[in-house]
Amino acid sequence: MYVLGISRVHDSAAALVRDGEIVAFAEEERFSRVKHDGRFPGGAINSCLDQAGITLAEVDHVAFYWQRWPEVAHAARVFARYFPGTLEVFRNRREGGVRSAGWRETWRHGGGSGGVDDFHVGGAVLAHVKRTYTIGQEIRDAVGHTGPTRFKVHLIDHHRAHAASAFYVSPFDSAAVLTMDGVGSDGTSTCLAVAHGDKISDLRRVKYPHSLGAMYAIITGYLGFHPTVDEGKVMGLAPFGSGAYVDQFADLVHLDPDGGFELNLSWFRHHVNGRHLVSRKFLDTFGPPRPRTKVTRDNPISQHYMDIAYALQATLERAGLHLARWLHGRTGLPRLAVAGGVALNSVMNGRILRETPFEEFFAQPAAADDGSALGAALEVSVGRYGRPRPTEGFIYTGPEFGEDRMERALADAGVPYQRMDDIAAHTAAALADGLIVGWFQGRMECGPRALGNRSLLADPRDPEAKTRMNEKVKHREAFRPFAPSCLAERAGEYFEGDHPSPVMLLVSDVLEHQRDRVPAITHVDGTARVQTVSRDDNPLYHRLIERFAELTGVPMLMNTSFNDNDEPIVCTPEDAVACFRKTDVDALALGPFWVRKEAGV
């Protein structure tokens, strides 16, 4: 039984599940080359069908990550609950008082080109309703299918899709499940659940406008970054701040003893205008927002805004710990599975694992809305039709390419190359010599983190590697850290704790006596967002790190995603060659082929 899962609006994606197997799963941005592409995932759907070797006629079910009428009902409740303040939606203004796209443009295209808040609130609700009716035809149009189809469309509760994306691919027979994001199809922002076998049961839900995801996104915008996109930047910025505003920020979120929370809405405006905006009270207390300008050496972030980021992160962690502790107390289970965009906050995740009674933790790499395409498919396959749960293959789920395609991409670009007998050994030696290498191998990983198949790699011992990678290769802010990919069997030599972290969603302390040895991956607060690499998960990447360890004694590499800052992670060999040529990457390992950039090129 084939089930095609689809998500859109934020990081659109498609997934194809066949009984107990994840056949394929990928984000639309990888094919359209538009970062965070929220349009209909036609490219991802085509890729899923191609990888399965089937046509749309063979798909039995389509699972969409959003429900129709619960959103309308919740929107009406919010409008009535906060009336007359909600009359502000009719002004249709976003940050700076700029007029947003009208309802017709939002109905037809999802909004304007002015960012995540460039939409009409009523038009967005109507557009979501429309999509639930047109999804079948949109799929047919996207793949060019004109023949008969047999698939049945299922509209899946958004937070159930998140929960299914985590629990059903986890190794747990039973677990507590925690999902957190901005808002779901019925208004849910946080769901606390328990799962056994093939059944997930809600314990309680917290609904918008009380939303940790919305809070973090709103203040991300206040800090001069893009809400719903740049929250990871704020997480990386936070350790540069101090606790100056932590006590004041405690008033933003009030924790309930029954496992819930409420935002103090006097600090925000999202509940009355649908946009990511703070209130006048917030501005009077903490000052004007930072202008949305690029952070550079000549335009640094002031300490004030670093302190705001610190307070925001501390507030989120306090709430996340509260929810997890309540969930453990209610379920008594030692295992926790998490999903939703807030679950990408690996610092919070690390504290939940260390500071709550949970003994085991699981998140799949695409924890945000992209992963809800996979979760929707699994909720139909496992939750509704009782098919087996997947037992492996949830990380490297994208397309892979043969050597002929790789060699043709190099030849078409006019790039001289060599074929290596042992690409892992050759690359390890180059890294030990200080080169930055683009590493392109096997099936593409899913989610926002490079996990060893579409990676830019460097020597973690080199204190200049981080600066060079940020400034010359990735062209991104200097405060952002880089992650280590460490041999799973040796991670305890460098990092506190021994919990596996194969998808880079747990932050750990670097052992103090090792920090000077691996400065490129040690953040300013002495932490690192670790990926543990096992031989079973990725044999070639594991062998590369082993070879590097044999040469240097250090069992890890500095790893970041293979892309320039304004682009998605590379997908095809052609993408990899193009990124290699336009950035200051020194060398490229494209399958077994090796390319070394000449000096000055």
Q: What is the pLDDT of residues 123-175, one digit of tens each?
A: 888 888 889 999 999 999 999 999 999 999 999 999 999 999 999 999 999 99
Whole-prediction pTM: 0.96
Distance, in Å, from the CA atom of 323 to the CA atom of 329, rounded to the nearest integer, reads 10
Q: Which residue type sits at 457?
A: L
Distance, in Å, from the CA atom of 491 to the CA atom of 501, rounded to the nearest integer, reads 10
What region does 17 belong to: left with phi over 0, alpha with psi -120 to 50, or beta?
A: beta
Q: Output the CA angle 259-530-322, nearest 5 degrees.
A: 10
Q: What is the CATH number of domain 403-596?
A: 3.90.870.20
Distance, in Å, from the CA atom of 514 to the CA atom of 526, rounded to the nearest integer, reads 10
**Does the annotation count 499 as an active-site position?**
no
Q: In the prediction, which pLDDT does 452 show? A: 98
Contact (CB, 8 A) for 107 and 130: yes
Q: In the prediction, which pLDDT does 600 show? A: 44
Q: In the prediction, which pLDDT does 332 show? A: 97
Question: What parts of the chain have a pLDDT lower than 70?
Answer: 599-601
For the record, the structure tokens of 538 come out as 């990725």
CB atoms within 10 A of CB 288: 7
DSSP 8-state class, residue 523:
-
CA distances from 207 to 83, 121, 182, 204 (A): 17, 18, 10, 10
Contact (CB, 8 A) for 423 and 591: yes
Q: In the prediction, which pLDDT does 120 show? A: 85
Distance, in Å, from the CA atom of 76 to the CA atom of 379, rounded to the nearest integer, reads 28
Encode 322-361 in three state secondary structure: HHHHHHHHHHCCCEEEEECHHHHCHHHHHHHHHHCCCCEE
Distance, in Å, from the CA atom of 153 to the CA atom of 376, rounded to the nearest integer, reads 11
Q: In the prediction, which pLDDT does 601 show? A: 44
Q: In the prediction, which pLDDT does 117 show? A: 84
* pLDDT tens digits, one per residue of 387-402: 999 988 999 999 999 9
Q: In the prediction, which pLDDT does 599 show? A: 56
Q: Which of 10, 61, 210, 542 is catalytic?
A: 10
The answer to whether domain 207-362 has CATH 3.30.420.40 is yes
Instruction: Break the chain into its structural domains and give their ranges.
Output: 207-362, 403-596
Q: In the prediction, which pLDDT does 577 show? A: 98
